[in-house]
Structure 1
Amino acid sequence: MLGSFGSSSHDEEEEPTASPSDIVPYHHNHHQIQPPPLRGFTSPATHMRQLLISSAELISQSDFPAARRLIAILSANSSPYGDSTERLVHLFTKALSLRLSFNTTVTTTTSGGSSVSHVLNTTEESLVQSSYLSLNQITPFIRFSHLTANQAILEAIDQGQQAIHIIDFDIMHGVQWPPLMQAMAERHPPPTLRITGTGNDPNTLRRTGDRLAKFAHSLGLIFQFHPLLLIDRDDPASAASALSAVLLLPDETLAVNCVLYLHRLLRDRDRLHYFLSRIKAMNPRVVAVAEREANHNQPIFLQRFVEAVEHYAAVFDSLEATLPPSSRERLTVEQVWLRKEVEDIVAAEGGGRRERHERFRSWEVMLRSSGFSNVPLSPFALSQAKLLLRLHYPSEGYQLHILNDSFFLGWQNQPLFSVSSWH
């Protein structure tokens, strides 16, 4: 198992909300616009990705009529029901169409720049939440991040410590914590556990707290949950000021959990440094960090686009290899959750962009400059991650790699996620 690593379009046609039940099955026909012929020995998959990049180049050159023509070709030759390349191209052409639509109808945020975000109705929000839970089940990336972060927290806490406090940034459904709670309940005597969970929806925070409290009760674990509402969870100033409301008790051991969160604060790097310094001043025993291993924070659109195509091509290939073609869960994940991410990276600009992923080396520099030191992840954490892959995702394509005392999980030779521990 160990390996080594070398929102909707508003273009000419309105794209409906991406619900799997609403998507009309795709059928090939003899009247499709055909892509330009292949050159040399280029594979069809590589050729289609090259056409995607050509479309992005035309947009970056403001040649919008030519871009629309090429996007029409790609749209006619891609499908949410095809192979991994067809599905990838389908998603990216929708995102390119959305970017083109901003040339005529520009949506702006208060901080400037185009944004693909909109207020979700109850049905859309439910679909997004459901797609996240499906993503957690059918891919190893989130579970790997949670499992490894949990192990880093457990190992940083002394066996005899009787009071644990975890601050979890963007707790969402809290799916990370039941395994850790179970491990704590098996300690003798079991410690008390307090979780401060942040989010921007009070109802989701309340439901998450109720679920965790019921689970803790079933384990006989003394537990408290404190919701911490962030008006703007993507604003580092808002996140930093919220730390002032966190109650710290002298007898508690503090752990901070930043799993797939810090990248959202990159729109203001100075304030992000301030946020990290505020965490450091709280003297946590451990800070767990997980992030995508990709650079989607390039200010130049074309560079960002090429990086995104490469990253998500590996994600789609991994889904292709591990799930049957008829998987509705995969369709939901790709057409709802991954679509939301891709549209943000491709179509949004300026302060409107949320998915600002950067590579581990950037996070390493930022964390060290904020006073943190890297804590090596343990051999036991490694064996746990390998076991997770072997038992639940038995494809040889998933590879686990160790670099700078941190773990990287990827597909084939492409690292996709990193997890690290800091003090």
Structure 2
Amino acid sequence: MQQTEVSGDLPSLSLSLGGRGTSSYHADPSLKHRKRKREQYDRRSRAKHLLRARNCMMRRCSNEFDGKGHLLIRLILLCAASVHRRDLRTAAESLMNLYRRASLTGEPIERVAAYFADGLFARLLLPSSPLQATIAANPSPEEELAAFAGFYYASPCYQFAHFTANQAIMDAYEEAESFNGGNLHVVDLDVSHGFQWPSLMQSLSDRATTTNKPISLSITGFGRSLHELRQTAARLRSFAGGCSNLSFDFQGKIIRPSHSGPLAVLREKKNATVVVNNLVFYLQTLKSTAEISSTLRAIREVNPNLVILVEREDRRPEPEEHLTENRLDGEEEGGGGGGFLPRFMESLQYFAAMFDSLNGCLPRESLERVRIEKNHLGREIREALLMGDRPGRRTREMMMERRWFEGVRMSWRAVSQAKLLVKMKSQGSAMEHLRGGARFSVWEEDDGRALSLGWQGRRLLTVTAWRCSP
């Protein structure tokens, strides 16, 4: 979060807040002029007061928390509903109250409120507003990588997802070992910083040494920038250089939404075990269930050995009519908002649990925790508020089954590994000192075909593996 002083060009601020539009009318030009001037003054005044309230929150060390987290949640929801309706007056009042009660260094719910307030403020601003660069400023690539790495090693969340997915990949590779020629090809649709793959490389290297059969691993990683892809490639090639009996190749590609774009790289080696990883991320770039269905159909035709889905746990009720062929959000074109608040509430509950769990991994006074929340989780909150509605896990599973995919049971090794990870992370961390049984837990669901990680009884992430039905 950046701090912005209010002494800037206030006329430009008056054009920053996008309020509800007023209908044109044929009245006295002088009346129209006075009304326009009054509206500009109101917007300028609200922008000025909001920035002042935000700056006060940025400088505030901490609130004396009164335990009324439910009041903060009500304020966040009221603000979200007002922003969605473009009700500028109510939204500005709600944001003022949020900034007065939120804190970047307080209890988890206070910190969540601070980042959601900024996300809602950014959504309230016009896209062309000069304030967007401050309210919704993204960290530098170096800051983002440092925050991601900090969260990766402090919390078991991402390690759980990666280790569980990698075990499923190892199981699929070993099952096809008699005819895959020692070749494994992974198409990672969100390779990011590549933190998932060193553990798989080590497992493959151990397997190759044990069986005395060299293994070839090819990863085609899709990312959002060439800079990040080059860094990821260098990092993975360096690690692979220390793995015996393992040859490694990495190809980086920019992700571009298309129902068949990533599939052209599949089956480059005959009989290779092929895995599609992080499919959920790619599906979220598509705009309709028709595009999602086309993508799943195209993947089915390629016939990969395994498809991995890692997703945030979604507890929203999802009726059958959610699966329309044209729209995903279930809202009217005019923005009536029937589906917005349930989606927003789910995001709020998810991030509140994530912040609370991080509180259990790092001490409250930890500067590392502050950097993680600012440069990683805070950015995820902003992206979640800007993203349109997407099918939840249950709906996505239904779509997979309709396209002739079937769930794969997680092996006992995957379950045992996940439980061991949670136990190891619970020892020697801040969780040892928490009261009331605050801890991470692992759940097996859907007759062993889904493995979930949760915090305080609230599921956070779920991993599922799929293969083409006979």
Match of 1:387 among 420, 430, 434: 420
Q: TM-score, structure 1 length as denominator?
A: 0.81
Could you tell me how far 1:25 is from its partner in structure 2?
4.8
Could you tell me how far 1:66 is from its partner in structure 2?
2.4
Question: Which position in structure 2 is the counterpart of 1:362?
Answer: 395
Q: How does 1:15-414 map to 2 (within 5 A)?
A: 25-27=59-61, 44-102=68-126, 105=128, 124-158=140-174, 159-160=177-178, 161=180, 162-187=182-207, 188=211, 189-230=213-254, 232=256, 235-237=257-259, 240-246=260-266, 248-258=268-278, 261-294=281-314, 298=329, 299=331, 300=337, 301-346=340-385, 348=386, 353=387, 358-394=391-427, 395=431, 396-404=438-446, 405-414=449-458
Give secondary structure in 2 for the equivalent of 1:80: coil
Could you tell me how far 1:98 is from its partner in structure 2?
1.4
Q: Contact conserved, 1:172 with 1:204, CA < 8 A, in 2?
A: yes
Larger mean CA deviation between 387-396 and 175-184 belongs to: 387-396
Q: Aligned partner of 2:88: which letter?
A: F
Provide Cα deviations, 1:295-354, integer angstroms capped at 9, x if missing partner.
7975533232222222211111111222101222221221222222222333x3xxxx27
Provide Cα deviations, 1:139-161, integer angstroms capped at 9, x if missing partner.
22111110000000101112555
Give secondary structure in 2 for the equivalent of 1:211: helix
Q: Contact conserved, 1:209 with 1:225, CA < 8 A, in 2?
A: no
Could you tell me how far 1:81 is from its partner in structure 2?
0.7
Structure with higher RCO (Cα < 8 A, 6+ apart): 1
Aligned in 2, Cα 1:27/1:176: closer, same or farther, shift over 3 Å? closer
Could you tell me how far 1:115 is from its partner in structure 2?
12
- Give the Cα separation in 1 of the matches to 2:133 and 2:405: 33
Could you tell me how far 1:54 is from its partner in structure 2?
1.9
Aligned in 2, Cα 1:177/1:99: closer, same or farther, shift over 3 Å? same
Provide Cα deviations, 1:57-98, integer angstroms capped at 9, x if missing partner.
333444321221221121011111111111011111111211
Give secondary structure in 2 for the equivalent of 1:219: coil
Larger mean CA deviation between 159-168 and 378-387 belongs to: 159-168
Provide Cα deviations, 1:353-399, integer angstroms capped at 9, x if missing partner.
27x56432122112112221100001221110000010023444212
Q: Contact conserved, 1:193 with 1:224, CA < 8 A, in 2?
A: yes
Q: Aligned partner of 1:400: which letter?
A: V
Question: Which position in structure 1 is the counterpart of 2:465?
Answer: 421
Could you tell me how far 1:263 is from its partner in structure 2?
4.7
- Give the Cα separation in 2 of the matches to 1:211 and 1:28: 39
Give secondary structure in 2 for the equivalent of 1:98: helix
Give secondary structure in 1 for the equivalent of 2:147: helix
- Give the Cα separation in 2 of the matches to 1:201 and 1:258: 17
Aligned in 2, Cα 1:260/1:371: closer, same or farther, shift over 3 Å? closer
Aligned residues: 383
Q: Contact conserved, 2:215 with 2:247, CA < 8 A, in 1?
A: no
- Give the Cα separation in 2 of the matches to 1:28 and 1:196: 45
Provide Cα deviations, 1:382-421, integer angstroms capped at 9, x if missing partner.
1100000100234442121111120111111211111001
Give secondary structure in 2 for the equivalent of 1:289: strand
Task: Return the structure number with greater helix share.
Answer: 2
Q: Aligned partner of 2:413: which letter?
A: F
Aligned in 2, Cα 1:382/1:28: closer, same or farther, shift over 3 Å? closer
Q: Contact conserved, 1:197 with 1:225, CA < 8 A, in 2?
A: no
Q: Contact conserved, 1:191 with 1:222, CA < 8 A, in 2?
A: yes
- Give the Cα separation in 2 of the matches to 1:271 and 1:148: 28
Question: Structure 1 unaligned runs (5+)?
Answer: 1-6, 16-22, 108-113
Question: Which of the two has higher C-alpha Rg?
Answer: 2
Q: Contact conserved, 1:116 with 1:344, CA < 8 A, in 2?
A: no
- Give the Cα separation in 2 of the matches to 1:92 and 1:99: 10
Give secondary structure in 2 for the equivalent of 1:288: strand
- Give the Cα separation in 1 of the matches to 2:272 and 2:283: 28
- Give the Cα separation in 2 of the matches to 1:126 and 1:65: 38
Aligned in 2, Cα 1:138/1:117: closer, same or farther, shift over 3 Å? same
Q: Aligned partner of 2:364: which letter?
A: P
Aligned in 2, Cα 1:260/1:139: closer, same or farther, shift over 3 Å? farther
- Give the Cα separation in 2 of the matches to 1:136 and 1:29: 29
Give secondary structure in 1 for the equivalent of 2:241: helix
Give secondary structure in 2 for the equivalent of 1:218: coil
Q: Contact conserved, 2:121 with 2:135, CA < 8 A, in 1?
A: no
Question: Structure 2 unaligned runs (5+)?
Answer: 5-15, 18-46, 52-56, 317-327, 332-336, 432-437
Could you tell me how far 1:183 is from its partner in structure 2?
0.9
- Give the Cα separation in 2 of the matches to 1:252 and 1:29: 57
Identity value in percent: 27
